[in-house]
Structure 1
Amino acid sequence: MRGIDAGYGRCESCGQLLRFPPPFRGARTALCPRCGSTVHLRRPASIQNTWALVLASIVFYIPANLLPMMHVHTFAGSSSDTIMSGIIYFLESGSYLIGIVIFIASIFVPTVKIFILIYLLLSIQRGWHHDPIRRQKLYLFTEIIGRWSMVDVFVVSIMIALVHFRGLSEIRTGLGALFFLLVVISTMLAAMTFDPRLIWDQIEFKASSRDLLKRDSASIQYDAPSKKDLHG
């Protein structure tokens, strides 16, 4: 039962590491001896909060791709571009690097991040015990690539600031940019609310349960009466 004898939690305010006495499973809290803040052994309602943020990001991602990111007004006319139409424009005009960067930041990164978070949530809820190291690396990958999703928002912001000549040319943001910003924020918060320690809790619980079964089976075999004892 070594895996479930005790647990450790870290204070979010000062970083103090606390040891929780057994049994440590469940919603356990303690007061930090250094700063007096409440320390949780595991993030409260981590699975529920992460699911809510992931579902919200999926809902926001649909209008973010359908609605225009920006409106361009010139003396020759007006046009509106969505994320995909902007990528196609850069590729057709020969700006392949810009088009590829925007595609990776605006299409590839948010989609991959959402699917990874869904996979991690399902692996914990369904009790998958295979390859926890790979799942831990996937979680770290979502934290690393999450910040690059803001590239498209930065591009639109810079273009709005630079191209602003009334009567000649002007760029304004569309609703797609707002929804895409909500997608980025919700996925970043989802990665923050997810507690990766839950991945390893399952592995420790499985190992501890296996050791307990071995001990029970060994004690049963040891205490089982022999044929000589049964026949006197």
Structure 2
Amino acid sequence: MDLGLVACRTCNGVARRESDESSRGAPSAPQARAAAQQCSRCGARMHSRKPDSLMRTQALLVAAAIMYLPANLLPVLHTVTMLGSKDDSIMSGIVHFWRSGDWVIATVVFIASVAFPLLKVVALAFLAWTAGCASRCHPLVGTKLFRVVERLGRWSMLDIFVIALTIALVNFRSVASATSGWGAVAFAAVVLLTMTATMQFDPRLIWDAHAGSHERDKNGSNSPTGP
């Protein structure tokens, strides 16, 4: 951005940022980040930084945190057989597998459905705080953390795939039926909200905050401390 360049996030093309600072003066940093132009290669809109990245990420994370509790406590599967009906939540399923001796399955479900969504929300909240508050954390650490969250986010849909497969197999028989519960809806909402928050977050803001903190430290060290 200091060189007057902007990159397209669709085709990775780099172009010189269009501006009319020659006639009206150089734009401020917020204006330069919000300004958009069209990519000459693919036609997509190009931004130096994603518009309102931190605000959108924080709003999506708050919504995901609100949906996290009902996703784990409400029933995700409702089965009806000749012996009666039964509601199962994610936590009750984990407890059932653990007591039945299927410790590996219980551990996999716990990591994929309980631990990882929570860690993803916490990690994205930490990255948003790092980008907005000029943290002393090295930006390379934040960038690697963002890449891990982005690549592993797709595995959060494990429970939804299991529920869909279970409903299809149970409904294939005439002696039983299965339907998804509100817990599955809440869990899918958590996954979609966290995935959208990951897409809205701009990791380049971490490096901006790091550069800003170094600039302030440099100016502070060069300022006179006495008469």
- Cα 1:33–1:210 shift into 2, 3 Å: farther
Give the superposition deviation at 1:126. Answer: 1.8
Unaligned runs of 5+ in 2: 19-25
| 1:15 aligned residue (5, 12, 16) | 12
The equivalent of 1:102 in structure 2 is 109
Task: Within 5 Å, give how 1:200-219 maps onto structure 2.
Answer: 200-210=207-217
- Cα 1:13–1:141 shift into 2, 3 Å: closer
- Cα 1:213–1:18 shift into 2, 3 Å: farther
Give the superposition deviation at 1:78. Answer: 1.0
The equivalent of 2:63 in structure 1 is 56
Q: Residues 5 and 23 of structure 1 are in contact (CA less than 8 Å); yes or no, is this contact kept in structure 2?
A: no
> Aligned with 1:163: secondary structure?
helix
| 2:73 aligned residue (62, 66, 70) | 66
Deviates more, 1:132-141 or 1:110-119: 132-141
Task: Within 5 Å, give how 1:59-208 maps onto structure 2.
Answer: 59-165=66-172, 167-208=174-215
Supply the distance in 1 between the matched residues of 2:178 and 2:91 (Cα, whole angstroms): 18
Q: Residues 130 and 137 of structure 2 are in contact (CA less than 8 Å); yes or no, is this contact kept in structure 1?
A: no
> Aligned with 2:29: secondary structure?
coil
Supply the distance in 2 between the matched residues of 1:138 and 1:14 (Cα, whole angstroms): 24
Supply the distance in 2 between the matched residues of 1:90 and 1:23 (Cα, whole angstroms): 60
Q: Tell me the TM-score normalised to structure 2 length.
A: 0.85
> Aligned with 2:202: secondary structure?
coil
> Aligned with 2:135: secondary structure?
coil
Supply the distance in 2 between the matched residues of 1:8 and 1:141 (Cα, whole angstroms): 28
Letter in 2 for 1:125: G
Report the RMSD for the aligned CA atoms in angstroms. 2.3
Deviates more, 1:193-202 or 1:34-43: 34-43
Unaligned runs of 5+ in 1: 218-232
| Identity across the alignment (%) | 40
Supply the distance in 2 between the matched residues of 1:78 and 1:123 (Cα, whole angstroms): 48
Supply the distance in 1 between the matched residues of 2:72 and 2:167 (Cα, whole angstroms): 19
Q: Deviations over 1:49-82 (max 9, x none)?
A: 1011101111111211221000111111111111
Give the superposition deviation at 1:35. Answer: 3.7
Q: Tell me the TM-score normalised to structure 1 length.
A: 0.83
**Stretches of 4+ aligned residues off by more than 3 angstroms:** 19-24, 206-217
Supply the distance in 1 between the matched residues of 2:9 and 2:132 (Cα, whole angstroms): 25
Structure 1 position 29 matched with structure 2 position 6: no
